[in-house]
């Protein structure tokens, strides 16, 4: 055999390469001969033998279709045979070789004769199981998010109503409700950092006690990790104890101390003891407020345990016990405890805040928050520019005289950084008012104050006033 007689090597066609790259299998249905031709690629996807088999008027694969999808597949095929030129259907396919259920997509083009009668179908098969699992996971995630948001809103509503019932002035309501809301927000940040698997007790203690009365608080205990439900309950409990200590207890004087200790119990739960010393002499209160109700009933119930509070002359002592159901395995990839937040001043209504004549730009995509900021800053004497709800609106306002700005970090999914960069280039100071958690300082690395949501407008006004005073 001469060199010229050697047949050239066989190479896959461009179509075959494209099908292989896309992970697709192909088939043909000869309607006239009632014949189904399955390619090796389709055979690998569907778990069927490759080659020719009786088409059974299109029903050859029906026995492998999930029973819940069979009627829909038959209806789609009948409609296509009657008048369609293209065919596409997604269904669950039970592979005959290993009985695995895979999600399949079949698409094809119907050929017809001069009288419009179907003569054949050429199509492709795709395994879309991964995509379907991802879609199902996304739907489950959205349902879970919807559930959690509704739970949070219901909890906030309850806190607002119960706090209002137990307070006699607007100032007291704002202080108490705002503090409880911030405790929930801190717990939420920790839960988010741990991907909602829970939160560590030491992280909760650091978030609540780390920034109040430096040198007067300490906490210690084994590395215990709480479920999300228990973490929220303990965050509120620690906030109530801290707020009471600052107002009336050990942290109301410089000589006072708070010691927080927790130990794991033999039954798998834990015991946490809050001890105050060095403060004013304490006695059992004559009136039971909502904070005491939170400690005595809600916390104990949510922790699957109980709470006891002793008003000793030397200082308040609270003991929280929790059942084993309150604890979860501590993840190996748990982030480090967040740095303590700076102490935020308790809002005081109608105090002498002055931003008189200051031109303040507001950039905030939440309408209610923007309106609240506009009202609060205007009452403090500022001339409000905006509010701008979109990035383009904010950029269009930058040619106006501006003394300072309040920026939300995210505007309907878009970063506010172009606005921040433009302001920084003009040496206009700004404050970030954002719902994003602690992440190493201000967004974008700017040297700017950050006020975390939820906030009181007074905090924003204070921060802006300090920026202007420092110029």
- Of the CA atoms within 13 Å of residue 21, those in its CB half-sphere come to 7
pLDDT digits (tens, 9 = 90+) for 128-175: 999 888 888 788 767 766 666 666 666 566 667 666 776 777 777 777
pLDDT digits (tens, 9 = 90+) for 14-31: 777 777 777 889 999 998
Q: Distance between CA 386 and CA 411 in Å, rounded?
A: 14
Burial of 336 from C-beta contacts in 10 A (0-12 / 13-18 / 19+): exposed
pTM of the model: 0.54
User: Left, alpha or beta for 221 (phi > 0: left; psi -120 to 50: alpha)?
Assistant: left
Task: Give the confidence band of 87 by pLDDT, cuts at 50, 70, 90.
Answer: confident
Whether omega for the bond prior to residue 145 falls within 30 degrees of 0, making it cis, is: no
What distance, in Å, lies between the first and last C-alpha atoms of the chain?
94
Domains of the chain: residue spans and CATH:
13-129 (3.30.450.20), 149-326 (3.30.565.10), 359-469 (3.40.50.2300)
Q: Distance between CA 443 and CA 457 in Å, rounded?
A: 20
Residue 122 DSSP class: E
Tokens of 208: 């609540």
Read off the pLDDT of each residue in 397-414 and give the average, rounded to a whole number: 90
Read off the pLDDT of each residue in 278-306 and give the average, rounded to a whole number: 79
């Amino acid at each position: 055999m001469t060199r010229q007689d050697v047949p050239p090597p066989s190479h896959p066609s461009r179509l075959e390469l494209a099908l292989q790259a896309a992970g697709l299998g192909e088939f043909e249905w000869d309607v006239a001969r009632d014949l189904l031709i399955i390619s090796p690629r389709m055979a690998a996807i569907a778990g069927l033998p490759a080659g020719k088999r009786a088409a059974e008027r299109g029903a050859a694969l029906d026995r492998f279709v999930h029973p819940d999808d069979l009627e829909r597949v038959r209806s789609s095929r009948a409609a296509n045979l009657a008048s369609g030129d293209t065919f596409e259907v997604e269904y669950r396919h039970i592979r005959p070789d290993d009985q695995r259920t895979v999600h399949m997509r079949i698409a094809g083009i119907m050929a017809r004769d001069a009288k419009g009668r179907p003569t054949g179908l050429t199509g492709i098969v795709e395994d879309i199981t991964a995509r379907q699992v991802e879609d199902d996971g996304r739907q489950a995630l959205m349902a879970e998010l919807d559930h959690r948001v509704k739970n949070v809103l219901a909890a906030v509503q309850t806190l607002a109503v119960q706090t209002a019932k137990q307070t006699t002035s607007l100032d007291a309501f704002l202080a108490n409700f705002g503090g409880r809301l911030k405790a929930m927000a801190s717990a939420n940040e920790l839960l988010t950092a741990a991907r909602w698997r829970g939160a560590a007790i030491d992280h909760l203690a650091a978030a609540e006690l780390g920034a109040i009365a430096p040198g007067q608080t300490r906490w210690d205990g084994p590395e215990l990790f709480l479920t999300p439900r228990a973490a929220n309950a303990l965050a509120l409990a620690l906030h109530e104890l801290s707020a009471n200590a600052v107002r009336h207890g050990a942290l109301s004087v410089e000589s006072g101390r708070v010691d927080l200790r927790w130990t794991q119990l033999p039954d798998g739960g834990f015991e946490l003891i809050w001890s105050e010393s060095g403060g004013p002499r304490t006695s059992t209160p004559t009136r039971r407020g909502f904070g005491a109700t939170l400690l005595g009933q809600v916390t104990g119930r949510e922790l699957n345990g109980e709470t006891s509070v002793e008003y000793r002359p030397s200082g308040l002592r609270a003991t929280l016990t929790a059942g084993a159901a309150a604890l979860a395995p501590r993840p190996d990839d748990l982030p480090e405890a967040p740095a303590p937040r700076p102490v935020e001043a308790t809002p005081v209504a109608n105090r002498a805040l002055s931003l008189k004549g200051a031109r303040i730009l507001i950039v905030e995509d939440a309408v209610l928050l923007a309106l609240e900021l506009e009202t609060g800053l205007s009452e403090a004497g500022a001339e409000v520019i905006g509010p701008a709800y979109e990035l383009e609106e904010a950029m269009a306002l930058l040619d106006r005289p501006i003394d300072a700005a309040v920026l939300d970090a995210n505007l309907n999914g878009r970063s506010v950084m172009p606005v921040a960069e433009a302001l920084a280039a003009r040496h206009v100071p700004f404050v970030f008012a954002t719902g994003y958690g602690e992440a190493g300082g201000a967004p974008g690395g700017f040297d700017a104050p950050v006020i975390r949501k939820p906030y009181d407008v007074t905090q924003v006004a204070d921060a802006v006033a300090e920026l202007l005073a420092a110029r």
